[in-house]
């Protein structure tokens, strides 16, 4: 069991560091997000932005697209 817990923690770390671009988010949206302070480049950065309640710089349609991509990828990860 400890190995599984370690693997899960490693998967979470990899997930947090995965870039939004690697999920297929287009370069224009990635550029807008990367220009934020702090920059939003990885999935972890995106989740921090959403959880913080800060104003999201994306129009709703683009924001929903990023949320769907992140959710779909997370559901596909082994747990």
Helix (H, G, I), strand (E, B) or coil at 25: coil
Q: What share of the chain is helix, strand, coil (3-state, %, to 5)?
A: 70, 5, 30
11-68 pLDDT tens trace = 666 777 889 999 999 999 999 999 998 999 999 999 999 999 888 889 999 999 999 9
């Amino acid at each position: 069991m400890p190995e599984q817990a370690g693997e899960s923690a490693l998967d979470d770390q990899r997930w947090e560091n995965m870039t939004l671009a690697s999920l297929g988010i287009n370069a224009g949206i990635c550029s807008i997000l990367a220009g934020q302070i702090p920059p939003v480049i990885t999935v972890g950065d995106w989740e921090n932005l959403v959880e913080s309640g800060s104003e999201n710089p994306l129009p709703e349609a683009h924001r929903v697209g990023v949320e769907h991509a992140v959710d779909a990828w997370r559901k596909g990860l082994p747990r």
